[in-house]
Amino acid sequence: MTTRLLLLLAALLALAPASASADDVPRDRYAEQGKSDKVGLRVMVVHATSNGNNIDSRLQNLTKYLSHLKYTSYELLQTHTAELGANGKQSFAIEGGFKVTIELLSKEESKARMRVVMARGAEKLLDTTLSVNRNGTFIVAGPKYKGGILVLPLTARY
């Protein structure tokens, strides 16, 4: 009888869920994202001109940065998103026949280093390395486009 009781107890213990320690429980989703090597990237394509004073309502959170440019009107043309891992690279076709390639070079606690290359066909127009603060935005002024320029706000979230 004692042997049967011990076998039954052993079987029940094997089926019971393991107890979790404080280290096993995620504190929150954001904390878990910080441990990842991945960086969430958002690239906006904005047409900046001096025709009027219209600012696309989807750009309201960027107006304090855009106001430093010499243009008065800003229209959001496209938004691209990607998730980049260590040395990950993503290319986007944007307005005007341009191609933008962004490569994650490194990610630190406070900033991510990225290489940004913009080309039209075989002609490379921009090749630069920049740092984007964690959960911040870096604005790249791009090429001439339809009476203004293209502006690329790059946001890195992690």
| Euclidean distance between CA atoms 155 and 137, whole angstroms | 4
| Euclidean distance between CA atoms 26 and 76, whole angstroms | 37
- With residue 66 as reference, give the H or E element that holds it: helix 63-66
Q: pTM for the complete prediction?
A: 0.75
Task: Calculate the CA 105 to chain-centre distance.
Answer: 13
Least confident of 10-14, 35-39, 89-93, 115-119: 10-14
pLDDT digits (tens, 9 = 90+) for 27-65: 333 344 445 789 999 999 999 999 999 999 999 999 989
- Domain borders along the chain are 38-157
Q: Is the pLDDT of residue 2 over 60?
A: no
Mean pLDDT of 23-28: 36
The reported pLDDT for the residue numbered 106 is 96
The reported pLDDT for the residue numbered 35 is 59
Q: Is the pLDDT of residue 19 over 50?
A: no
Mean pLDDT of 153-158: 97
Q: What is the percent of the chain where pLDDT is above 90?
A: 73
Residue 142 in contact with residue 98, Cβ under 8 Å? yes
Torsion-angle region of 142 (φ positive above 0: left; ψ -120 to 50: alpha; else: beta): beta
